Chain A
Amino acid sequence: MKIKLFLLAPFVLGASFLFAQGTISGNAESTFQYLNEDTVIGANQPPSKGLINSYMNVFYTNGNFKAGMRLESYLPRIQGYPNRFDGTGLGMRYVGYENDFVDVTLGSFYEQFGAGLSLRAYEDRALGYDNLLDGARIIVKPRKGIVLKGVYGYQRLSFQEGRIVHGAGIVRGTDAEFHLNEIFKKMETSSLDLTLGASFVSKYQKDDNSTLVLPENVGSYGGRIKMLYKNIYFDGEYIQKEQDPSNDNGNIYNYGHASVFNLSYTQKGLGILISGKSVDNMSYRSDRTKDLQDVFINYLPALNKTHTYNLVATLYPYATQPVGEVAFQADVMYTFLRKTKLGGKYGTTIGFNYSTTYEPKKTYNSNYPSDSTGIAYKSTPFVMSDSLYWQDINFNISKKFNKKFSGILSYYNIQINNDVAKISNDAQGVINAHIGVVEMLFKLKPKHSIRTEIQGLFVQDKDGVINDKGNWFTALIEYTISPNYFFSFMNQYNYGNPDKTKRVNYPIMTCGYIKGSTRFTVSYGRQRAGLFCVGGVCRFVPANNGLTLSFTQSF
């Protein structure tokens, strides 16, 4: 025993010395669910009754050295998480070295080239999405204004028995970005700020298909530009993907392409944003046989407003269609100044947003698949058909009436093509919904406030029949004692469901306690089944009824 302690001593002392010198930061999070059986809403009680997800990130830096890890635990996973998450273990770990010239990482890392159209490895824990790269990354800054990146690795597919499970393919990529104002002295004082970039990404996956000759190395490449001139900002990116037959595209041999641009103008009290996106055959995964949200190499941003009110955000969210879509968005925000007729004493802000998405126009190859090209159709960027996938027209007015009372009035009209962006098993064709929201905030006394939301969602009949689940009504009341406590109660009522037995209330009560960087939340009640989406990436959450406890801590 003494000998063992003697042998361990240098390591213990070494570790203490090492950690005594550096900086440690991180965060922890745990979500526990105790679920009940609820046949009315179709919620099942899992055999273990209790479910828990836990995470802790630990980041260590010491001079130029860095290391980090994330321990994850699914015992078992909470409802709605991918069913391949189980066990406890390291879900991410890396070591690296970084100075002003070079940044090298070995192990797990997240990375994004440009807007992510060619490569984006990221984590969104709320979605259960994590496509990190496990391998090596180097970032070199040879001179001011130039950043070169190289990445090489397998992607995280799932987490089983406490271990990362990789996807089948290897991802390789290089990226270069040039900020011309820093590179060229003549542009240092220019009012035009210009950045150019280019990226190349390739994946390798063995051809194990006996009926097709599959490309084992599939590349995607393109360029991007960012410009800022006084109050005007523009960015744009175009990426082309080579032949990538996969489950997603029905094993066609078309090239894919994706483009996105944003043009904005801002001045005091006014913000205008015009965006456009065109995508065709851009599902780019490191395993061509996967689906849902598995091992995506790239990211196709959603071009619609991120809504926050319960009904509009969760009933009819739009998921990006990587197989193809053409989308446009316009967003305007204007504030009427204080002490004007429309601004009143405190000013009034109005917002307008319009987004729409269509299927790309495709000229089909009449000889496909009998010819030998494997090319099913041709498409042109930003040329769309008349097949509507999504449309969202919304506006809101925010006004502060006096020191103790302010309010927001919002209206939304959403049309979503359920045949393409499937959101419900009960709906057919395009769902057309009108949503109205009134939000009010009352400040009762210093640190005490009450916030309420009244929401109504009205689904337009289709061919004289109630479409989907019909109308909904939601009420929320939230009492906050800053900065430590909040209590809320929300009820969603599906009063317009064509099936009278499903005209159900979904009440849920939530309480929270916050102290410094520690936060506890307790909620109890019903949660309806639906899609939970962030940035066009969605996961299905089944109905549940029960207790949820969550804890977060950063350090």
Chain B
Amino acid sequence: MRLFLFIFLFGFLISSCDHVKNPYPAEVNLELDTNLYPGLWSDYENNEWPTFSQNTNTSKNVLIEDFTGHKCVFCPAAAELAHQLHEANPSRVFTASMHAGPDGVGDFQTVSPPDYPLDFTNPEGVEIGIYFGENDGGFPGNPRGTVNRFNNGTVFQSPTQWTSMVSDQLNSTNLKVNIQSSLNYYPETKGAFLHVELDPIDQGVTSKLGIAVYLIEDSLVGDQKMSDNSHNSSYTHRDIHRGNLNEMAFGRPVSSDDLIGENYYINYSFNVPNQLDGQYNASNMHLLVYAFNTETWEIYQVVKQKINP
């Protein structure tokens, strides 16, 4: 008798019901340039649009924003330090060389032909420089930088603080947001689509959660004024900040419109630009995707996404 009742109850279980709390699917912001896909957009949606598996990462990564200039004599040393910190933890520490000062474009960043003919600045980098030049403790000039924009009294820190701050961030167990990204690049159109998943591990951060994406040129050999005031025309500039996706210097806050289930999904389309020297090489570009606190600017997590691996 019990056996049959068990079978009957089993029938209930196999025929369970679905409960829908919100019948409307979260609207994915699809302000994408679909022309960058060399085919029918429906094919992209059906075949190319990525799905993310469970994000099992537990490590907090670090973004060093190195505010620099090609005529800043102490900047090569700071850049070298940042690069060493990256080399020590290549999958967790990433650098963005921001060619900007507290006034945006200062003497260190101006173009001075014939020795310094190349303009390394871009509008978003300049806007960030100007903002932090006046706010959140400001910064006196180059070289200065931020480590996950952690406010250690001030957001901007001297390079002498970077090593210990990077170490602190790497050892932090307080990962509040996880990030996964996926990118589809199409050489035919020089276009790419970036898909990002933000997983707010700490739900307390969601009300002030923002996302920004830096476009970074891996390296370029060019002119740099060195610490001995000499002109080095074969200096390797690394991790050059070329601008932000969607031209948003401070990214944008995420909202419930981006929410699908418990995660936020944000999508971008963009043209991969030429290098600063005018050559086209998508393999020399990558993106840094980071989630941050829109009030304090603290970066919760950052990941690197190659464009043409």
Complex CA gap A373/B22 in Å reads: 6
Chain A binder among B7-15, B62-70, B227-235? B7-15
- CB <8 Å contact, B24 and A217: no
Complex CA gap A243/B17 in Å reads: 9
Check: A404 CB closer than 8 A to any chain B CB.
no
Check: B39 CB closer than 8 A to any chain A CB.
no
Complex CA gap A372/B20 in Å reads: 10
Check: B23 CB closer than 8 A to any chain A CB.
yes
Residues from chain B with a CB closer than 8 A to the CB of A541 are none
Complex CA gap A173/B16 in Å reads: 10
Check: A355 CB closer than 8 A to any chain B CB.
no
Known A211-B25, A213-B24: A243·B15 in contact at CB below 8 Å: no
How far in angstroms is the closest Cβ of chain A from B29? 16
- CB <8 Å contact, B22 and A202: no
Task: Mark contacts of A183-212 with chain B using CB atoms, 8 A cut-off: 1 yes-contact digit, 0 otherwise.
Answer: 000000000000000001110000000111
- CB <8 Å contact, B1 and A253: no
Known A202-B15, A202-B16, A215-B18: A176·B23 in contact at CB below 8 Å: no
The size bracket of the interface on A is 20 to 34
Complex CA gap A148/B9 in Å reads: 11
Closest to B15 in A: A202
Which among B4, B17, B24 is the interface contact of A215 at CB below 8 angstroms?
B17
Check: A331 CB closer than 8 A to any chain B CB.
no
Residues from chain B with a CB closer than 8 A to the CB of A174 are 8, 11-12, 15
Residues from chain A with a CB closer than 8 A to the CB of B16 are 202, 217, 219
Which among A140, A202, A216, A253 is the interface contact of B23 at CB below 8 angstroms?
A253
Task: Mark contacts of A284-312 with chain B using CB atoms, 8 A cut-off: 1 yes-contact digit, 0 otherwise.
Answer: 00000000000000000000000000000
Complex CA gap A217/B15 in Å reads: 8
B: number of interface residues (CB 8 Å): 18
Residues from chain A with a CB closer than 8 A to the CB of B7 are 140, 148, 150
How far in angstroms is the closest Cβ of chain B from A25? 32
Check: A439 CB closer than 8 A to any chain B CB.
no
Task: Mark contacts of A141-180 with chain B using CB atoms, 8 A cut-off: 1 yes-contact digit, 0 otherwise.
Answer: 0110010101000000000000000000000111010000
Complex CA gap A217/B23 in Å reads: 14
- CB <8 Å contact, A243 and B22: no
- CB <8 Å contact, A172 and B23: no
Instruction: Tell which of B15, B16, B20 has the most Cβ of chain A within 10 Å.
Output: B15
Residues from chain B with a CB closer than 8 A to the CB of A251 are 23
Check: A214 CB closer than 8 A to any chain B CB.
yes
Which among B14, B17, B22 is the interface contact of A213 at CB below 8 angstroms?
B22
- CB <8 Å contact, A374 and B20: yes
Instruction: Tell which of A201, A210, A218, A243 has the most Cβ of chain B within 10 Å.
Output: A243
Check: A242 CB closer than 8 A to any chain B CB.
yes
Complex CA gap A372/B256 in Å reads: 12
Check: A245 CB closer than 8 A to any chain B CB.
yes
- CB <8 Å contact, A148 and B8: yes
Residues from chain B with a CB closer than 8 A to the CB of A243 are 18-20
Which among B8, B14, B18 is the interface contact of A218 at CB below 8 angstroms?
B18
- CB <8 Å contact, B15 and A215: no
- CB <8 Å contact, B8 and A372: no
How far in angstroms is the closest Cβ of chain A from B26? 9
Complex CA gap A479/B18 in Å reads: 60
- CB <8 Å contact, B17 and A245: no
Known A142-B1, A213-B20: A172·B15 in contact at CB below 8 Å: yes
Query: Which residues of chain A from 403 to 453 have a CB within 8 Å of any chain B CB?
Result: none
- CB <8 Å contact, B11 and A216: no
- CB <8 Å contact, A173 and B15: yes
- CB <8 Å contact, B25 and A215: no
Residues from chain B with a CB closer than 8 A to the CB of A176 are 8
- Pairs A–B under 8 Å by Cβ, sample size 14: A142-B1, A150-B8, A174-B15, A202-B16, A212-B24, A213-B20, A213-B24, A215-B19, A216-B18, A218-B18, A372-B21, A372-B22, A373-B22, A374-B22
Given contacts A148-B7, A217-B17, 14 further A-B contacts (CB under 8 A): A140-B7, A148-B4, A173-B11, A174-B8, A176-B8, A201-B15, A213-B25, A214-B20, A216-B18, A217-B18, A243-B19, A251-B23, A373-B22, A374-B23
Residues of A within 8 A of B (CB): 140, 142-143, 146, 148, 150, 172-174, 176, 200-202, 210-219, 242-243, 245, 251, 253, 372-374
The 10 closest A-B pairs by CB, nearest first: A202-B15, A174-B11, A219-B17, A215-B18, A374-B23, A172-B15, A372-B22, A142-B4, A217-B18, A242-B17
